[in-house]
Amino acid sequence: MSSNVMVLVEAEAGGVTDATVELIGKARELATAWGGAVEAVVLGPGEVGTGLGGADTVVRVEHPGLATYLPEAYENTLAELLVTRSPRLLMLANSTVGLDLGAALAVAWDAELVAYVVGLQTEGTTAVATAQILGGKILAEVGMAAERGVVTVVPGSFPAALGRVAGEPELVTVDAPGSLGSLRMRLERLVTPEGGDVDITAAPMLVSVGRGVGSADNIELAQEMADYLGATVSSSRPVVDAGWMPKSRQVGKSGLTVTPRAYLAFGISGAPEHLEGMRDSELIIACNTDENAPIFDVAHYGTTTDLFELLPALTGRLGG
Amino acid sequence: MRIVVPMKAVPDLVEEIEITADGTGIDREYLKFVLNEWDDQALEEALLVKEATGAEVVALGLGSDPDIDASLYTAIAKGADRAVRLTGAGEVPDTATRARAVAGYLRDHPADLVITGVQAPDDLDGQLPATLGALLGHPHVSVVVSVALVTDPPEPPAVRVRQEFAGGRAAELVVDLPAVIGLQAARQAPRYAPISRIRQVMAAGGIEQVDPGLAPGSATGASGLAVRRMHAPEKTSHAQMLTGSADEVAGQIVDLLRSRGLVKG
């Protein structure tokens, strides 16, 4: 076992993701406390890209089968790297990739895993992880004392500035595992975002509805108010999953990130996945009958007024 | 084809959640439990695959989950062929233990396809689909929004799944069976089972009970995490609350928007 902290690098069109840079910053802090190094793992051929200056080592596996994310290929490659490089801790973002790989690698590598991590500190050789569970209502503090650990970290939990530093990491190239030739899944095609009827990321004002709206028919109340306000209607994930709104209107982790001038949330409790997509809006006003709803922790103004009374009242005030 | 849908009861997040006296867990005594919403989506997708292929759908629950029987009967009322309640996984199993119980069952009753919710709100030690996939040695994919049996070519048997990423990006993968799928959302909203139909199913009974024995797991992970304490998050900020009648609150909101030039007049 080493005292190193390994980070899986995720990239998108613009380079290394913010979530990755946040992980590297935190990994830097942990590795310094443990006297180890930060190893950033880059899978696939092509440019390494900038943004990894905070790492001591960049571990490359250049196999063409890793050019595009494929769960089994990534899992097999990382499983082998964990054994050969033996870090103290593996850090993944709690993204689709983290959901695929985190728990599986913890089983394969025989490590303890904490999911939904929002805080991470050292206490001697122990890592103390704070995880956000039950829709953001509870924080659980977990001592990770085992020799090997995996954490999946909620994006936005650590400042990216700590990871965005200049540096010249040592480049190490490693062979891909032979198992990449006999995978049991293959990528058929990549799907780019559906062109929706509107682009909610460009709307200056959003009226966003959540599960509390109750039914597809009730969305009309929000639409009417939004029409008078000159705003666009968006929604949280459960509303899209229920088929009440198209996917193109979804705000949050598995939808779109928005930063309108005003975000009016109706019947949205504020699960962490939703907050991730709207917390940087200039003005947030939330309406939810549960006064303890987490949405009120990020909203500037809030009310527990019933949305079925408030929406028509707003429409009336706006001239309806 | 046989599809198994592991389902979990989770605390209803609408309820206030209390911490136990020792501060290391949530107080489950007075808590209302509901079916994990992602498992409801998983069941719906499994039923859609059944309609397309004639597959058998087995709803699977852990007997220690509060009110799981109601979810299992509802699953039958919606179209699942069978419901199975597993015992022997302890009182409050973590994901690792839950996965070992499900893997134990699948060892004796193999499935071609496992479809379960991508996550649950309380799976602190990781999510079931990836844990189960790794324990079984099956390929697994999470954050999936559609599953269809590949009919051409027929060998080896495989499913085509759509996996979602942030920002609306997605990938279509072909995955050989047997496989484990972590479902984010079904292709259509979960169907509704009339209460009368659920009562009918309940009266007929028929949940099979199985003590599978736990499949071997990871030595470190299976014993549970060392939770030091649980607590509600400290509020670093809180919305300024607007009060009054609905009309008064509406007036205050319009004033806020007007002061920022977002409402004319």
List the beta bridge partners of residue B35. B9
For residue A25, tell me if it sits in a domain: yes
Q: Say whether both A246 and A279 belong to one domain.
A: yes
Over residues B257-265, mean pLDDT: 88
The DSSP code for B19 is B
Is the pLDDT at B215 greater than 90? The verdict is no
Q: Say whether both A230 and A300 belong to one domain.
A: yes
For residue A188, tell me if it sits in a domain: no
Helix (H, G, I), strand (E, B) or coil at B116: strand
CA distance A285 to A264: 5
Domains in chain B and their CATH numbers?
2-210 (3.40.50.620), 238-265 (no CATH)
User: Which of A100, A111, A285 minimises the CB distance to B141?
Assistant: A100
pLDDT tens-digit series, residues B100-138: 999 999 999 999 999 999 999 999 999 999 999 999 999
pLDDT tens for chain A, 320 residues long, are: 689 999 999 988 768 988 999 999 999 999 999 999 999 999 998 777 778 999 999 999 999 999 999 999 999 999 999 999 999 999 999 999 999 999 999 999 999 999 999 999 999 999 999 999 998 889 999 999 999 999 999 988 999 888 989 999 999 999 999 999 999 999 999 988 766 678 898 899 999 999 999 999 999 999 999 999 999 999 999 999 888 998 889 999 888 889 999 999 999 999 988 998 999 899 999 999 999 899 999 999 999 999 999 999 999 999 87
Q: Say whether both A144 and A225 belong to one domain.
A: no
Q: A241–B254: do the CB atoms touch at under 8 Å? A: no
Q: State the total domains in chain A.
A: 2
* Residue A153: how many other CB atoms lie within 10 Å: 28
Domain boundary among A152, A182, A212: A182
Q: Say whether both A254 and A175 belong to one domain.
A: no
Distance from A297 to chain B by nearest Cα, in Å?
A: 5
Helix (H, G, I), strand (E, B) or coil at A27: helix
Complex ipTM: 0.92
Residue B253 is which amino acid? I
Question: Contacts of residue A240 in chain B, CB cutoff 8 Å?
Answer: 185
Distance from A20 to chain B by nearest Cα, in Å?
A: 14
B145 in Cβ contact with A157 (< 8 Å): no
B139: exposed, middle or buried (Cβ count in 10 Å: 0-12, 13-18, 19+): buried
* pLDDT: which is higher, B222 or B259: B259
User: Which tokens sit at A251?
Assistant: 């705000």
Which of A17, A123, A303, A311 has the most B C-beta neighbours within 10 Å, making it the best mutation to test the interface with B? A303
Return the CATH number at A221: 3.40.50.1220
Q: Say whether both A19 and A144 belong to one domain.
A: yes
Domain boundary among A125, A150, A182: A182
For residue A195, tell me if it sits in a domain: no
For residue A65, tell me if it sits in a domain: yes
Q: Say whether both A138 and A29 belong to one domain.
A: yes
A279 in Cβ contact with B219 (< 8 Å): no
For residue A190, tell me if it sits in a domain: no
For residue A299, tell me if it sits in a domain: yes
pLDDT tens-digit series, residues B144-186: 999 999 987 767 899 999 999 987 789 999 999 999 999 999 9
Q: Say whether both A76 and A214 belong to one domain.
A: no
Helix (H) or strand (E) holding B135: helix B128-136
Q: Say whether both A120 and A34 belong to one domain.
A: yes
Query: Of B221, B130, B124, B162, which is closest to residue A101 (Cα–Cα)?
Result: B130
Half-sphere exposure of B10 (CA within 13 A, CB side): 22
Backbone angles phi, psi at A268, to 5 degrees: -110, 120
pLDDT tens-digit series, residues B23-54: 999 999 889 999 999 999 999 999 999 999 99
Return the CATH number at A82: 3.40.50.620
Q: Say whether both A310 and A207 belong to one domain.
A: yes
Which residues span the domain enclosing A232?
Answer: 200-318
Helix (H, G, I), strand (E, B) or coil at A300: coil
pTM of the model: 0.89
Q: Say whether both A13 and A139 belong to one domain.
A: yes
For residue A191, tell me if it sits in a domain: no
| % of chain B at pLDDT higher than 70 | 97
B212 in Cβ contact with B6 (< 8 Å): no
Is the pLDDT at B223 greater than 70? The verdict is no
Backbone angles phi, psi at A148, to 5 degrees: -130, 135
Domain boundary among A125, A156, A182: A182
Q: Say whether both A121 and A168 belong to one domain.
A: yes
Q: What is the pLDDT of residue B221?
A: 45
B224 confidence band (pLDDT: 50, 70, 90): low
Q: Say whether both A234 and A153 belong to one domain.
A: no
For residue A211, tell me if it sits in a domain: yes
CA distance A42 to A50: 12
Q: What is the mean pLDDT of chain B?
A: 93
The DSSP code for B166 is G
